[in-house]
Amino acid sequence: MRLKDEFNSLVGEHLDGTATRDQTQRLDEIMQRDPKLQQEYRTQLMIHQLLMERFSSPAGADALAAILSEPAPVLTPIQRVKDWFRRIFRKSDCPCCRM
């Protein structure tokens, strides 16, 4: 398994709250070896936390599902995240608009 694939799998387990101690240790090892992956993890964690806060209600979950199911133009991953945030948050609340 490529390191990036392993990293993505471990991050998914960690954010879902289902990672074992060994998986968490392996994720830490990978991030210590690659600062870019460490930054990517921090970004994914921030996005996950913001989305969980914003969409913790059933109505919020339905709104998120509707946004994610819309056909998206071809965008880079960061452009797509920014597009989602702009649709989800009012402009004053959007973390991407404040960057």
Q: What is the pLDDT of residues 81-97, one digit of tens each?
A: 777 777 776 655 555 55
The predicted-structure confidence for 12-59, as pLDDT tens digits, reads as follows 888 888 889 999 999 999 999 999 999 888 888 887 887 777 777 777
One-letter identity of residue 47? I
* Collapsed DSSP state (helix, strand, coil) of residue 75: coil
The predicted-structure confidence for 5-23, as pLDDT tens digits, reads as follows 898 889 888 888 888 999 9
The reply to whether the predicted model has a pTM over 0.75 is: no
Strands (E), the chain: none
The long-range contacts involving 87-95, CB below 8 angstroms and separated by at least 24 positions, are 88/51, 88/54, 88/63, 88/64, 89/54, 95/46, 95/50
